[in-house]
Amino acid sequence: MLTRIDHIGIACHDLDATVEFYRATYGFEVFHTEVNEEQGVREAMLKINETSDGGASYLQLLEPTREDSTVAKWLAKNGEGVHHIAFGTADVDADAADIRDRGVRVLYEEPRRGSMGSRITFLHPKDCHGVLTELVTSAPVESAEH
């Protein structure tokens, strides 16, 4: 069962400048940064609030690290802006299987490692009314990398 909005992913050309905009304009601070080599992105997670299920909601700012990454291709086509929405779930495997059974294409056969040690998969935007949708199971707090 999907429990919350985990994050909204925002593609950007300059991660540092975008972080500064969100800090200066809204007061959001960086909670976590990392480079995800597999996805070809450098990212910053800005925590917005805690949630009742023990998780949190974030803005995820994404800067491509290579031209062949999905985010780089998306930026070239669409420019900066909202890239995807991610819903939190206690069991990404079960929810992805359930959603697949409902006729929605799941982009990864098996969930992959996401931000802060989470497990993720994506749903095809053509099956989700034009919205790239991510499912996220957060890592246990003690094992999340900060």
Which residues are known catalytic residues?
7, 43, 60, 84, 134
Residues 25 and 17 sit within 8 Å (Cβ to Cβ): no
Q: Facing residues of 30 across strands? A: 46
What pairing do the DSSP bridges indicate for beta strands 133-137 and 41-50?
Answer: unpaired
Residue 70's closest CA among 109, 116, 124, 16?
124
d(CA 63, CA 110): 25
d(CA 93, CA 104): 14
